[in-house]
Chains A and B, each alone.
Chain A
Protein backbone atom coordinates (compact mmCIF):
# COMPACT_ATOMS: atom_id res chain seq x y z
CA UNK A 1 0.00 0.00 0.00
CA UNK A 2 1.59 3.28 -1.02
CA UNK A 3 1.76 6.38 1.17
CA UNK A 4 -1.14 8.04 -0.63
CA UNK A 5 -3.48 5.11 0.01
CA UNK A 6 -2.30 4.95 3.61
CA UNK A 7 -3.04 8.65 4.03
CA UNK A 8 -6.49 8.10 2.51
CA UNK A 9 -7.34 5.46 5.10
CA UNK A 10 -5.71 7.55 7.83
CA UNK A 11 -8.07 10.43 6.98
CA UNK A 12 -11.13 8.16 6.80
CA UNK A 13 -10.19 6.48 10.10
CA UNK A 14 -9.60 9.87 11.75
CA UNK A 15 -12.97 11.05 10.50
CA UNK A 16 -14.65 8.05 12.12
CA UNK A 17 -12.68 8.03 15.34
CA UNK A 18 -12.39 11.75 16.06
CA UNK A 19 -15.84 12.71 14.80
CA UNK A 20 -17.43 9.72 16.47
CA UNK A 21 -20.43 11.56 17.92
CA UNK A 22 -21.44 12.72 14.43
CA UNK A 23 -20.61 9.39 12.87
CA UNK A 24 -22.51 7.52 15.56
CA UNK A 25 -25.64 9.53 14.77
CA UNK A 26 -25.27 8.66 11.09
CA UNK A 27 -24.42 5.04 11.91
CA UNK A 28 -27.41 4.86 14.25
CA UNK A 29 -29.72 6.03 11.45
CA UNK A 30 -28.27 3.40 9.09
CA UNK A 31 -28.49 0.64 11.73
CA UNK A 32 -32.14 1.46 12.47
CA UNK A 33 -32.90 1.34 8.75
CA UNK A 34 -31.04 -1.94 8.18
CA UNK A 35 -32.58 -3.50 11.31
CA UNK A 36 -36.13 -2.72 10.28
CA UNK A 37 -35.49 -3.76 6.72
CA UNK A 38 -33.92 -7.13 7.52
CA UNK A 39 -36.38 -7.77 10.36
CA UNK A 40 -39.44 -7.12 8.23
CA UNK A 41 -38.11 -9.10 5.28
CA UNK A 42 -37.38 -11.99 7.65
CA UNK A 43 -40.93 -11.78 9.01
CA UNK A 44 -42.31 -11.48 5.46
CA UNK A 45 -40.66 -14.75 4.46
CA UNK A 46 -41.49 -16.48 7.73
CA UNK A 47 -45.18 -15.52 7.84
CA UNK A 48 -46.35 -18.54 5.79
CA UNK A 49 -44.56 -20.96 8.12
CA UNK A 50 -45.73 -19.12 11.23
CA UNK A 51 -49.31 -18.90 10.01
CA UNK A 52 -49.41 -22.53 8.88
CA UNK A 53 -48.61 -23.51 12.44
CA UNK A 54 -51.22 -21.09 13.75
CA UNK A 55 -53.85 -22.40 11.35
CA UNK A 56 -53.40 -25.91 12.69
CA UNK A 57 -55.57 -24.88 15.62
CA UNK A 58 -58.48 -24.97 13.14
CA UNK A 59 -58.07 -28.72 12.86
CA UNK A 60 -56.98 -31.23 10.25
CA UNK A 61 -56.43 -30.08 6.69
CA UNK A 62 -55.94 -33.47 5.06
CA UNK A 63 -58.25 -36.50 5.13
CA UNK A 64 -57.35 -40.10 4.27
CA UNK A 65 -60.13 -42.51 3.41
CA UNK A 66 -60.09 -46.10 2.11
CA UNK A 67 -60.37 -46.14 -1.66
CA UNK A 68 -61.10 -49.79 -2.32
CA UNK A 69 -61.03 -51.80 0.88
CA UNK A 70 -63.44 -51.18 3.72
CA UNK A 71 -60.77 -49.68 5.90
CA UNK A 72 -57.18 -48.38 6.01
CA UNK A 73 -54.74 -50.87 7.45
CA UNK A 74 -51.95 -49.89 9.83
CA UNK A 75 -49.38 -50.54 7.07
CA UNK A 76 -51.23 -48.33 4.59
CA UNK A 77 -51.52 -45.61 7.23
CA UNK A 78 -47.82 -45.78 8.05
CA UNK A 79 -46.87 -45.60 4.37
CA UNK A 80 -49.19 -42.64 3.76
CA UNK A 81 -47.89 -40.68 6.72
CA UNK A 82 -44.28 -41.33 5.71
CA UNK A 83 -44.93 -39.34 2.51
CA UNK A 84 -45.45 -36.15 4.54
CA UNK A 85 -42.19 -34.51 5.72
CA UNK A 86 -41.71 -34.99 9.44
CA UNK A 87 -41.08 -31.31 10.09
CA UNK A 88 -44.45 -30.38 8.57
CA UNK A 89 -46.50 -33.11 10.23
CA UNK A 90 -48.32 -31.69 13.23
CA UNK A 91 -50.24 -34.91 13.97
CA UNK A 92 -52.74 -37.47 12.69
CA UNK A 93 -55.67 -39.34 14.20
CA UNK A 94 -57.18 -42.50 12.72
CA UNK A 95 -60.90 -43.03 13.47
CA UNK A 96 -62.72 -46.36 13.58
CA UNK A 97 -66.50 -46.19 13.84
CA UNK A 98 -68.83 -48.92 15.21
CA UNK A 99 -72.53 -48.90 15.96
CA UNK A 100 -73.94 -50.06 19.25
CA UNK A 101 -76.79 -49.39 21.65
CA UNK A 102 -77.07 -47.70 25.01
CA UNK A 103 -80.36 -47.90 26.85
CA UNK A 104 -81.66 -49.54 23.67
CA UNK A 105 -80.95 -46.34 21.73
CA UNK A 106 -78.59 -46.61 18.72
CA UNK A 107 -75.29 -44.78 19.12
CA UNK A 108 -72.07 -44.62 17.08
CA UNK A 109 -68.76 -45.25 18.82
CA UNK A 110 -65.51 -43.81 17.46
CA UNK A 111 -62.24 -45.45 18.38
CA UNK A 112 -59.45 -42.87 18.60
CA UNK A 113 -56.09 -42.15 20.18
CA UNK A 114 -56.87 -39.57 22.84
CA UNK A 115 -53.35 -38.16 22.80
CA UNK A 116 -53.07 -37.60 19.05
CA UNK A 117 -56.57 -36.13 18.77
CA UNK A 118 -55.44 -33.09 20.77
CA UNK A 119 -53.08 -32.27 17.86
CA UNK A 120 -55.53 -32.76 15.02
CA UNK A 121 -58.55 -31.29 16.85
CA UNK A 122 -57.10 -28.71 19.24
CA UNK A 123 -60.39 -26.80 19.19
CA UNK A 124 -62.26 -29.56 21.06
CA UNK A 125 -63.79 -28.26 24.25
CA UNK A 126 -64.21 -30.87 26.93
CA UNK A 127 -66.26 -30.51 30.10
CA UNK A 128 -64.52 -32.95 32.40
CA UNK A 129 -61.45 -34.94 31.52
CA UNK A 130 -60.01 -36.51 28.40
CA UNK A 131 -60.13 -40.36 28.79
CA UNK A 132 -56.79 -41.95 29.62
CA UNK A 133 -57.54 -45.68 29.70
CA UNK A 134 -59.61 -48.44 28.18
CA UNK A 135 -63.15 -48.46 29.53
CA UNK A 136 -63.28 -44.66 29.68
CA UNK A 137 -65.29 -42.58 27.19
CA UNK A 138 -65.69 -39.06 25.96
CA UNK A 139 -69.32 -38.44 25.01
CA UNK A 140 -70.41 -35.95 22.35
CA UNK A 141 -72.76 -33.28 23.79
CA UNK A 142 -75.67 -34.24 21.49
CA UNK A 143 -75.45 -37.93 22.43
CA UNK A 144 -75.17 -37.01 26.09
CA UNK A 145 -78.26 -34.85 25.85
CA UNK A 146 -80.23 -37.49 23.96
CA UNK A 147 -79.36 -40.29 26.39
CA UNK A 148 -79.18 -38.14 29.51
CA UNK A 149 -75.55 -39.07 30.14
CA UNK A 150 -73.36 -37.12 32.55
CA UNK A 151 -69.67 -36.98 33.44
CA UNK A 152 -68.78 -39.53 36.09
CA UNK A 153 -71.58 -41.97 35.15
CA UNK A 154 -70.99 -45.58 34.00
CA UNK A 155 -73.08 -47.12 31.26
CA UNK A 156 -73.14 -50.32 29.23
CA UNK A 157 -73.01 -50.46 25.48
CA UNK A 158 -74.70 -53.55 24.18
CA UNK A 159 -74.42 -55.48 20.94
CA UNK A 160 -76.13 -58.63 19.82
CA UNK A 161 -74.35 -60.78 17.24
CA UNK A 162 -74.89 -63.90 15.29
CA UNK A 163 -71.62 -65.76 15.49
CA UNK A 164 -70.31 -66.60 12.05
CA UNK A 165 -67.08 -68.29 11.02
CA UNK A 166 -65.60 -64.72 10.66
CA UNK A 167 -66.36 -63.80 14.26
CA UNK A 168 -63.28 -63.61 16.48
CA UNK A 169 -64.61 -65.69 19.30
CA UNK A 170 -61.38 -65.29 21.24
CA UNK A 171 -62.70 -61.82 22.18
CA UNK A 172 -66.00 -63.10 23.60
CA UNK A 173 -66.38 -64.29 27.20
CA UNK A 174 -67.95 -67.74 27.21
CA UNK A 175 -70.90 -66.67 29.36
CA UNK A 176 -72.07 -64.27 26.62
CA UNK A 177 -72.47 -67.04 24.02
CA UNK A 178 -75.68 -69.05 23.75
CA UNK A 179 -77.02 -71.53 21.19
CA UNK A 180 -80.54 -71.58 19.72
CA UNK A 181 -81.75 -75.08 20.53
CA UNK A 182 -84.06 -75.10 17.50
CA UNK A 183 -81.76 -73.85 14.77
CA UNK A 184 -78.39 -74.58 16.34
CA UNK A 185 -77.18 -71.07 15.52
CA UNK A 186 -74.82 -69.42 17.94
CA UNK A 187 -75.55 -65.93 19.26
CA UNK A 188 -73.89 -63.61 21.68
CA UNK A 189 -75.23 -60.74 23.76
CA UNK A 190 -72.12 -58.63 24.11
CA UNK A 191 -71.64 -55.59 26.30
CA UNK A 192 -68.94 -53.02 27.10
CA UNK A 193 -68.98 -51.12 30.37
CA UNK A 194 -67.69 -47.59 30.07
CA UNK A 195 -67.30 -44.73 32.50
CA UNK A 196 -67.82 -41.21 31.17
CA UNK A 197 -64.90 -38.89 31.92
CA UNK A 198 -66.00 -35.87 29.87
CA UNK A 199 -68.54 -34.30 27.51
CA UNK A 200 -67.29 -33.01 24.14
CA UNK A 201 -68.55 -29.69 22.81
CA UNK A 202 -67.56 -28.49 19.34
CA UNK A 203 -70.82 -27.18 17.86
CA UNK A 204 -70.27 -29.65 14.99
CA UNK A 205 -70.94 -33.23 14.02
CA UNK A 206 -68.27 -34.42 16.44
CA UNK A 207 -70.88 -34.14 19.21
CA UNK A 208 -72.80 -37.06 17.72
CA UNK A 209 -70.29 -39.74 18.75
CA UNK A 210 -68.97 -41.50 21.79
CA UNK A 211 -65.19 -41.68 21.79
CA UNK A 212 -63.36 -44.65 23.25
CA UNK A 213 -60.02 -46.38 22.67
CA UNK A 214 -59.40 -48.62 19.63
CA UNK A 215 -59.26 -51.63 21.92
CA UNK A 216 -62.74 -50.88 23.29
CA UNK A 217 -64.20 -50.41 19.79
CA UNK A 218 -62.63 -53.68 18.74
CA UNK A 219 -64.06 -55.41 21.80
CA UNK A 220 -67.45 -53.85 21.20
CA UNK A 221 -67.60 -54.97 17.54
CA UNK A 222 -65.81 -58.23 18.07
CA UNK A 223 -63.99 -57.53 14.81
CA UNK A 224 -60.38 -56.75 14.07
CA UNK A 225 -60.04 -54.29 11.16
CA UNK A 226 -58.38 -51.05 10.08
CA UNK A 227 -59.51 -47.41 10.22
CA UNK A 228 -62.45 -45.71 8.47
CA UNK A 229 -60.90 -42.30 8.20
CA UNK A 230 -57.65 -40.57 9.17
CA UNK A 231 -57.46 -36.88 9.96
CA UNK A 232 -54.04 -35.36 9.26
CA UNK A 233 -52.79 -31.96 10.30
CA UNK A 234 -49.77 -30.67 8.31
CA UNK A 235 -48.14 -27.24 8.49
CA UNK A 236 -47.99 -26.60 4.75
CA UNK A 237 -49.66 -24.37 2.22
CA UNK A 238 -52.48 -25.39 -0.08
CA UNK A 239 -50.29 -26.17 -3.08
CA UNK A 240 -47.89 -28.27 -1.05
CA UNK A 241 -50.77 -30.13 0.56
CA UNK A 242 -52.20 -30.84 -2.88
CA UNK A 243 -48.92 -32.43 -3.91
CA UNK A 244 -49.04 -34.64 -0.79
CA UNK A 245 -52.61 -35.78 -1.53
CA UNK A 246 -51.59 -36.67 -5.06
CA UNK A 247 -48.52 -38.55 -3.92
CA UNK A 248 -50.44 -40.51 -1.26
CA UNK A 249 -53.31 -41.37 -3.63
CA UNK A 250 -50.81 -42.45 -6.32
CA UNK A 251 -48.29 -44.28 -4.15
CA UNK A 252 -50.45 -45.97 -1.52
CA UNK A 253 -52.86 -48.46 -2.90
CA UNK A 254 -56.14 -48.54 -1.01
CA UNK A 255 -55.84 -45.00 0.36
CA UNK A 256 -57.42 -41.90 -1.05
CA UNK A 257 -56.25 -38.53 0.19
CA UNK A 258 -58.05 -35.17 -0.14
CA UNK A 259 -57.86 -31.68 1.26
CA UNK A 260 -60.27 -30.22 3.75
CA UNK A 261 -60.96 -27.35 1.34
CA UNK A 262 -62.84 -25.24 3.87
CA UNK A 263 -59.67 -24.98 5.94
CA UNK A 264 -56.96 -24.84 3.27
CA UNK A 265 -58.73 -22.28 1.05
CA UNK A 266 -59.38 -19.85 3.90
CA UNK A 267 -55.81 -20.32 5.11
CA UNK A 268 -54.56 -19.40 1.68
CA UNK A 269 -56.73 -16.29 1.46
CA UNK A 270 -55.79 -15.02 4.91
CA UNK A 271 -52.13 -15.71 4.26
CA UNK A 272 -52.08 -13.87 0.94
CA UNK A 273 -53.65 -10.83 2.58
CA UNK A 274 -51.27 -10.96 5.52
CA UNK A 275 -48.22 -11.24 3.26
CA UNK A 276 -49.43 -8.31 1.16
CA UNK A 277 -49.83 -6.28 4.34
CA UNK A 278 -46.31 -7.09 5.55
CA UNK A 279 -44.97 -6.33 2.05
CA UNK A 280 -46.64 -2.91 1.99
CA UNK A 281 -45.44 -2.11 5.52
CA UNK A 282 -41.90 -3.20 4.54
CA UNK A 283 -41.94 -1.01 1.43
CA UNK A 284 -43.26 2.03 3.32
CA UNK A 285 -40.73 1.57 6.12
CA UNK A 286 -37.93 1.20 3.55
CA UNK A 287 -38.87 4.48 1.89
CA UNK A 288 -39.13 6.26 5.27
CA UNK A 289 -35.79 4.78 6.29
CA UNK A 290 -34.18 6.01 3.08
CA UNK A 291 -35.52 9.50 3.75
CA UNK A 292 -34.25 9.34 7.34
CA UNK A 293 -30.77 8.14 6.28
CA UNK A 294 -30.64 10.68 3.43
CA UNK A 295 -31.60 13.52 5.79
CA UNK A 296 -28.96 12.50 8.33
CA UNK A 297 -26.27 12.11 5.67
CA UNK A 298 -27.24 15.46 4.15
CA UNK A 299 -26.85 17.13 7.54
CA UNK A 300 -23.52 15.38 8.17
CA UNK A 301 -22.12 16.38 4.77
CA UNK A 302 -23.56 19.90 4.74
CA UNK A 303 -21.76 20.76 7.95
CA UNK A 304 -18.52 19.75 6.19
CA UNK A 305 -18.94 22.16 3.27
CA UNK A 306 -16.11 24.28 4.62
CA UNK A 307 -13.84 21.24 4.74
CA UNK A 308 -14.81 20.42 1.16
CA UNK A 309 -13.98 24.00 0.17
CA UNK A 310 -10.63 23.74 1.93
CA UNK A 311 -9.78 20.46 0.22
CA UNK A 312 -10.60 22.03 -3.13
CA UNK A 313 -8.40 25.02 -2.30
CA UNK A 314 -5.59 22.55 -1.51
CA UNK A 315 -5.91 21.08 -4.98
CA UNK A 316 -8.53 18.32 -4.66
CA UNK A 317 -10.55 17.56 -7.77
CA UNK A 318 -14.30 17.09 -7.41
CA UNK A 319 -13.77 13.39 -8.09
CA UNK A 320 -11.34 13.15 -5.13
CA UNK A 321 -13.93 14.68 -2.81
CA UNK A 322 -16.68 12.38 -4.08
CA UNK A 323 -14.50 9.29 -3.62
CA UNK A 324 -13.43 10.29 -0.10
CA UNK A 325 -16.87 11.17 1.17
CA UNK A 326 -18.55 8.27 -0.61
CA UNK A 327 -16.01 5.89 0.94
CA UNK A 328 -16.99 7.15 4.39
CA UNK A 329 -20.67 6.82 3.48
CA UNK A 330 -20.27 3.32 2.08
CA UNK A 331 -18.29 2.23 5.12
CA UNK A 332 -21.12 3.55 7.29
CA UNK A 333 -23.57 1.65 5.11
CA UNK A 334 -21.55 -1.57 5.40
CA UNK A 335 -21.09 -1.33 9.16
CA UNK A 336 -24.74 -0.37 9.62
CA UNK A 337 -25.78 -3.26 7.38
CA UNK A 338 -23.78 -5.83 9.37
CA UNK A 339 -25.10 -4.62 12.72
CA UNK A 340 -28.58 -4.12 11.26
CA UNK A 341 -28.80 -7.67 9.93
CA UNK A 342 -27.93 -9.05 13.39
CA UNK A 343 -30.32 -6.68 15.17
CA UNK A 344 -32.93 -7.34 12.47
CA UNK A 345 -32.91 -11.01 13.43
CA UNK A 346 -33.38 -10.06 17.08
CA UNK A 347 -36.19 -7.68 16.08
CA UNK A 348 -37.90 -10.34 13.94
CA UNK A 349 -37.47 -12.87 16.75
CA UNK A 350 -39.12 -10.52 19.26
CA UNK A 351 -42.02 -9.81 16.91
CA UNK A 352 -42.42 -13.49 16.14
CA UNK A 353 -42.34 -14.50 19.79
CA UNK A 354 -44.89 -11.85 20.71
CA UNK A 355 -47.26 -12.31 17.78
CA UNK A 356 -46.89 -15.98 16.84
CA UNK A 357 -45.32 -17.35 20.03
CA UNK A 358 -42.73 -19.22 17.97
CA UNK A 359 -39.14 -18.48 17.03
CA UNK A 360 -38.23 -17.23 13.57
CA UNK A 361 -36.14 -19.13 11.04
CA UNK A 362 -32.74 -17.48 10.55
CA UNK A 363 -32.01 -16.85 6.88
CA UNK A 364 -28.24 -16.40 6.29
CA UNK A 365 -28.86 -15.07 2.76
CA UNK A 366 -30.49 -12.01 4.31
CA UNK A 367 -27.13 -10.86 5.77
CA UNK A 368 -25.45 -10.07 2.41
CA UNK A 369 -28.75 -8.74 1.05
CA UNK A 370 -29.16 -6.39 4.04
CA UNK A 371 -25.55 -5.21 3.79
CA UNK A 372 -25.89 -4.61 0.04
CA UNK A 373 -29.20 -2.75 0.51
CA UNK A 374 -27.74 -0.70 3.35
CA UNK A 375 -24.64 0.22 1.31
CA UNK A 376 -26.83 1.09 -1.69
CA UNK A 377 -29.25 3.25 0.32
CA UNK A 378 -26.43 5.05 2.17
CA UNK A 379 -24.52 5.54 -1.08
CA UNK A 380 -27.58 7.05 -2.76
CA UNK A 381 -28.31 9.13 0.32
CA UNK A 382 -24.72 10.49 0.30
CA UNK A 383 -24.51 11.08 -3.42
CA UNK A 384 -27.00 13.95 -3.58
CA UNK A 385 -25.53 16.10 -0.77
CA UNK A 386 -21.95 15.31 -1.93
CA UNK A 387 -22.82 16.31 -5.49
CA UNK A 388 -24.19 19.63 -4.27
CA UNK A 389 -21.31 20.12 -1.82
CA UNK A 390 -18.59 19.72 -4.46
CA UNK A 391 -20.18 22.46 -6.54
CA UNK A 392 -19.40 24.88 -3.74
CA UNK A 393 -17.00 27.66 -4.69
CA UNK A 394 -14.03 27.27 -2.33
CA UNK A 395 -13.46 31.02 -2.35
CA UNK A 396 -16.94 31.66 -0.91
CA UNK A 397 -16.81 28.89 1.67
CA UNK A 398 -13.36 29.88 2.91
CA UNK A 399 -14.52 33.47 3.28
CA UNK A 400 -17.26 32.09 5.55
CA UNK A 401 -20.10 33.06 3.18
Chain B
Protein backbone atom coordinates (compact mmCIF):
# COMPACT_ATOMS: atom_id res chain seq x y z
CA UNK B 1 0.00 0.00 0.00
CA UNK B 2 1.30 3.45 -0.84
CA UNK B 3 2.13 5.77 2.03
CA UNK B 4 1.90 8.91 -0.05
CA UNK B 5 0.39 9.69 -3.40
CA UNK B 6 0.45 12.91 -5.42
CA UNK B 7 -2.35 12.97 -8.00
CA UNK B 8 -2.00 15.52 -10.80
CA UNK B 9 -0.50 18.06 -8.45
CA UNK B 10 0.29 21.54 -9.75
CA UNK B 11 1.64 24.54 -7.92
CA UNK B 12 1.29 27.84 -9.70
CA UNK B 13 2.96 31.11 -8.66
CA UNK B 14 1.50 33.84 -10.88
CA UNK B 15 2.37 32.66 -14.36
CA UNK B 16 5.01 30.17 -13.22
CA UNK B 17 4.12 26.50 -12.90
CA UNK B 18 6.57 25.35 -10.23
CA UNK B 19 4.96 21.90 -10.37
CA UNK B 20 2.95 20.93 -13.39
CA UNK B 21 0.49 18.07 -13.16
CA UNK B 22 2.81 15.78 -11.21
CA UNK B 23 1.71 12.33 -10.09
CA UNK B 24 3.81 10.17 -7.79
CA UNK B 25 3.32 7.20 -5.45
CA UNK B 26 5.60 6.38 -2.54
CA UNK B 27 5.28 3.07 -0.73
CA UNK B 28 5.67 2.48 2.99
CA UNK B 29 9.30 1.84 3.88
CA UNK B 30 10.53 3.15 0.56
CA UNK B 31 13.65 5.36 0.22
CA UNK B 32 13.09 7.91 -2.51
CA UNK B 33 15.55 10.47 -3.81
CA UNK B 34 14.21 13.54 -5.60
CA UNK B 35 16.84 15.07 -7.82
CA UNK B 36 17.00 17.83 -10.35
CA UNK B 37 18.59 21.18 -11.13
CA UNK B 38 17.75 24.43 -9.34
CA UNK B 39 14.28 25.66 -10.23
CA UNK B 40 13.08 22.20 -11.22
CA UNK B 41 10.42 22.17 -8.49
CA UNK B 42 12.17 20.02 -5.87
CA UNK B 43 11.60 22.38 -2.98
CA UNK B 44 8.00 23.02 -4.00
CA UNK B 45 7.36 19.28 -4.06
CA UNK B 46 9.03 18.86 -0.69
CA UNK B 47 6.95 21.64 0.87
CA UNK B 48 3.75 20.06 -0.46
CA UNK B 49 4.73 16.58 0.72
CA UNK B 50 5.83 18.04 4.09
CA UNK B 51 2.44 19.81 4.49
CA UNK B 52 4.21 23.16 4.67
CA UNK B 53 2.40 24.26 1.49
CA UNK B 54 -0.78 23.37 -0.41
CA UNK B 55 -1.04 22.48 -4.10
CA UNK B 56 -2.88 24.84 -6.46
CA UNK B 57 -4.44 21.83 -8.15
CA UNK B 58 -4.55 18.07 -7.60
CA UNK B 59 -4.67 15.82 -4.57
CA UNK B 60 -2.17 14.74 -1.94
CA UNK B 61 -3.14 11.44 -0.33
CA UNK B 62 -1.39 10.30 2.84
CA UNK B 63 -2.35 6.78 3.92
CA UNK B 64 -5.23 7.13 1.43
CA UNK B 65 -6.53 10.33 3.04
CA UNK B 66 -6.68 13.51 0.93
CA UNK B 67 -4.89 16.25 2.85
CA UNK B 68 -4.69 18.80 0.04
CA UNK B 69 -7.84 20.62 1.12
CA UNK B 70 -7.20 20.56 4.85
CA UNK B 71 -6.98 23.77 6.87
CA UNK B 72 -3.59 25.16 7.95
CA UNK B 73 -4.21 23.99 11.50
CA UNK B 74 -5.08 20.44 10.39
CA UNK B 75 -2.00 20.38 8.17
CA UNK B 76 0.14 21.49 11.09
CA UNK B 77 -1.25 18.65 13.20
CA UNK B 78 -0.77 16.24 10.33
CA UNK B 79 2.87 16.97 9.59
CA UNK B 80 3.65 17.11 13.32
CA UNK B 81 2.29 13.59 13.76
CA UNK B 82 3.40 11.91 10.53
CA UNK B 83 6.50 13.65 9.19
CA UNK B 84 10.04 14.30 10.46
CA UNK B 85 11.93 17.10 8.73
CA UNK B 86 15.70 17.23 8.13
CA UNK B 87 17.08 20.52 6.78
CA UNK B 88 20.19 21.41 4.84
CA UNK B 89 20.92 24.27 7.26
CA UNK B 90 20.03 22.11 10.31
CA UNK B 91 17.89 24.87 11.85
CA UNK B 92 18.70 24.12 15.46
CA UNK B 93 17.60 26.65 18.06
CA UNK B 94 20.91 28.25 18.97
CA UNK B 95 20.20 28.84 22.66
CA UNK B 96 19.01 25.28 23.36
CA UNK B 97 21.48 22.43 23.77
CA UNK B 98 21.34 19.25 21.68
CA UNK B 99 18.93 17.33 23.91
CA UNK B 100 16.68 20.38 24.38
CA UNK B 101 16.53 20.83 20.59
CA UNK B 102 15.27 17.25 20.32
CA UNK B 103 12.81 17.82 23.15
CA UNK B 104 11.29 20.84 21.37
CA UNK B 105 9.87 18.45 18.76
CA UNK B 106 8.38 16.34 21.59
CA UNK B 107 7.04 19.51 23.22
CA UNK B 108 4.89 20.41 20.21
CA UNK B 109 3.96 16.75 19.52
CA UNK B 110 3.04 15.27 22.88
CA UNK B 111 5.07 15.37 26.09
CA UNK B 112 8.80 16.17 26.43
CA UNK B 113 10.85 13.29 27.85
CA UNK B 114 14.57 13.85 28.31
CA UNK B 115 15.29 10.11 28.55
CA UNK B 116 13.70 9.44 25.17
CA UNK B 117 15.45 12.45 23.66
CA UNK B 118 18.79 11.12 24.91
CA UNK B 119 17.98 7.75 23.35
CA UNK B 120 17.29 9.48 20.03
CA UNK B 121 20.67 11.21 20.29
CA UNK B 122 22.23 7.85 21.08
CA UNK B 123 20.78 6.43 17.85
CA UNK B 124 22.70 9.09 15.90
CA UNK B 125 25.81 8.61 18.07
CA UNK B 126 25.62 11.92 19.91
CA UNK B 127 24.58 11.04 23.44
CA UNK B 128 27.84 12.30 24.90
CA UNK B 129 27.32 15.70 23.18
CA UNK B 130 23.75 16.08 24.51
CA UNK B 131 24.49 19.12 26.67
CA UNK B 132 26.38 21.01 23.99
CA UNK B 133 24.95 24.05 22.29
CA UNK B 134 24.74 24.05 18.47
CA UNK B 135 27.65 26.51 18.34
CA UNK B 136 29.78 23.89 20.13
CA UNK B 137 28.93 21.17 17.60
CA UNK B 138 30.41 20.53 14.14
CA UNK B 139 28.19 20.70 11.04
CA UNK B 140 27.91 16.92 10.95
CA UNK B 141 26.96 16.79 14.61
CA UNK B 142 24.36 19.49 14.13
CA UNK B 143 22.85 17.53 11.26
CA UNK B 144 22.73 14.42 13.45
CA UNK B 145 20.88 16.41 16.15
CA UNK B 146 18.50 17.52 13.40
CA UNK B 147 17.96 13.87 12.41
CA UNK B 148 17.42 12.85 16.06
CA UNK B 149 14.83 15.64 16.31
CA UNK B 150 13.13 14.35 13.15
CA UNK B 151 13.06 10.81 14.58
CA UNK B 152 11.93 11.54 18.12
CA UNK B 153 8.18 11.36 17.45
CA UNK B 154 8.48 8.13 15.41
CA UNK B 155 7.19 9.67 12.17
CA UNK B 156 5.95 7.57 9.28
CA UNK B 157 8.04 9.60 6.86
CA UNK B 158 11.41 11.35 7.10
CA UNK B 159 11.65 14.22 4.66
CA UNK B 160 15.20 15.49 4.16
CA UNK B 161 16.08 18.57 2.13
CA UNK B 162 19.73 18.45 0.96
CA UNK B 163 20.72 16.77 4.23
CA UNK B 164 24.38 16.53 3.25
CA UNK B 165 24.58 19.82 1.38
CA UNK B 166 26.60 21.54 4.11
CA UNK B 167 28.69 18.55 5.20
CA UNK B 168 32.15 17.22 4.38
CA UNK B 169 32.57 13.70 3.04
CA UNK B 170 33.15 12.06 6.42
CA UNK B 171 30.01 13.56 7.91
CA UNK B 172 28.07 12.88 4.70
CA UNK B 173 28.90 9.18 5.14
CA UNK B 174 27.80 9.24 8.80
CA UNK B 175 24.44 10.79 7.83
CA UNK B 176 23.96 8.32 4.95
CA UNK B 177 24.74 5.43 7.30
CA UNK B 178 22.01 6.69 9.64
CA UNK B 179 19.55 6.87 6.71
CA UNK B 180 20.51 3.33 5.67
CA UNK B 181 19.86 2.08 9.17
CA UNK B 182 16.50 3.89 9.33
CA UNK B 183 15.54 2.44 5.97
CA UNK B 184 16.47 -1.02 7.18
CA UNK B 185 14.27 -0.45 10.24
CA UNK B 186 11.35 0.26 7.87
CA UNK B 187 11.22 4.09 7.99
CA UNK B 188 10.04 5.75 4.78
CA UNK B 189 12.54 8.36 3.51
CA UNK B 190 12.31 11.08 0.92
CA UNK B 191 15.61 12.84 0.31
CA UNK B 192 15.84 15.91 -1.91
CA UNK B 193 19.39 16.24 -3.18
CA UNK B 194 21.68 17.62 -5.85
CA UNK B 195 24.36 15.12 -4.97
CA UNK B 196 24.37 12.02 -7.25
CA UNK B 197 26.25 10.02 -4.58
CA UNK B 198 23.47 10.67 -2.07
CA UNK B 199 20.82 9.98 -4.70
CA UNK B 200 22.39 6.67 -5.60
CA UNK B 201 21.95 5.43 -2.04
CA UNK B 202 18.16 5.64 -2.46
CA UNK B 203 15.94 2.75 -3.58
CA UNK B 204 14.27 4.90 -6.19
CA UNK B 205 15.35 8.11 -7.95
CA UNK B 206 12.83 10.63 -9.26
CA UNK B 207 14.22 13.38 -11.48
CA UNK B 208 12.38 16.69 -11.87
CA UNK B 209 12.81 19.17 -14.70
CA UNK B 210 10.76 22.36 -15.19
CA UNK B 211 8.08 21.11 -12.80
CA UNK B 212 7.67 17.74 -14.54
CA UNK B 213 8.92 14.29 -13.56
CA UNK B 214 11.48 13.55 -16.27
CA UNK B 215 12.46 10.12 -14.96
CA UNK B 216 11.48 7.71 -12.19
CA UNK B 217 13.89 4.83 -11.90
CA UNK B 218 14.52 2.00 -9.44
CA UNK B 219 18.06 1.78 -8.12
CA UNK B 220 19.64 -1.34 -9.58
CA UNK B 221 21.69 -1.79 -6.44
CA UNK B 222 18.52 -2.55 -4.51
CA UNK B 223 16.99 -4.69 -7.29
CA UNK B 224 20.09 -6.84 -7.27
CA UNK B 225 19.95 -7.07 -3.50
Residues of A with Cβ closer than 8 Å to B? 2-4, 6-8, 10-11, 14-15, 17-19, 306-307, 309-317, 320, 393-395, 398-400
In the bound assembly, the distance between CA atoms of A394 and B94 in angstroms comes to 17
B91 interface residue (CB < 8 Å to A): yes
CA separation between A307 and B96, bound complex, in Å? 11
A7 to B81, CA, bound (A): 19
- Closest chain B residue to A401 by CB distance? B43
Please state if A7 and B96 are interface contacts (CB–CB under 8 Å).
no
Shortest Cβ distance from B114 into A: residue = A3
How far does the alpha carbon of A399 sit from the alpha carbon of B91 in the complex, in Å? 10
B73 in contact with A7 (CB, 8 Å): no
CB distance from B27 to the nearest CB of A (A): 25
Task: Tell me if A's interface is mostly helix, strand, loop or mixed.
Answer: helix
Identify 27 residue pairs between A and B in the complex whose beta-carbon atoms are under 8 Å apart, listed by A's number. A3-B112, A4-B107, A4-B111, A8-B107, A11-B107, A14-B96, A14-B97, A18-B96, A18-B133, A19-B94, A19-B95, A306-B91, A309-B91, A311-B108, A313-B50, A314-B85, A314-B105, A315-B105, A317-B73, A317-B76, A320-B108, A394-B52, A395-B43, A395-B52, A395-B53, A398-B87, A398-B91
A399 to B103, CA, bound (A): 23
- The closest CB in chain B to the CB of A399 belongs to B43
- CB of A7 within 8 A of CB of B112, answer yes
B: which residues have CB within 8 A of A? 43, 47, 50, 52-53, 73, 76-77, 79-81, 85, 87, 89, 91, 93-97, 100, 103-109, 111-113, 133, 149
Q: Name B108's contact: one of A15, A316, A400 (CB within 8 Å).
A: A316
- Provide the residues of chain B in CB contact with A6, threshold 8 Å: 112
How many angstroms between the C-alpha atoms of A152 and B50 in the bound complex? 105
Bound Cα distance A327, B103 (Å): 19
Contact B95 A18 (CB under 8 A): yes
In the assembled complex, how far is the CB of residue B14 from the closest CB belonging to chain A, in whole angstroms? Answer: 16
Q: A314-B80, A315-B108 are in contact. List 15 more A-B contacts (CB 8 A).
A: A3-B113, A4-B111, A4-B112, A11-B104, A15-B95, A18-B96, A306-B91, A309-B91, A310-B93, A313-B85, A314-B85, A315-B109, A393-B53, A395-B43, A399-B43
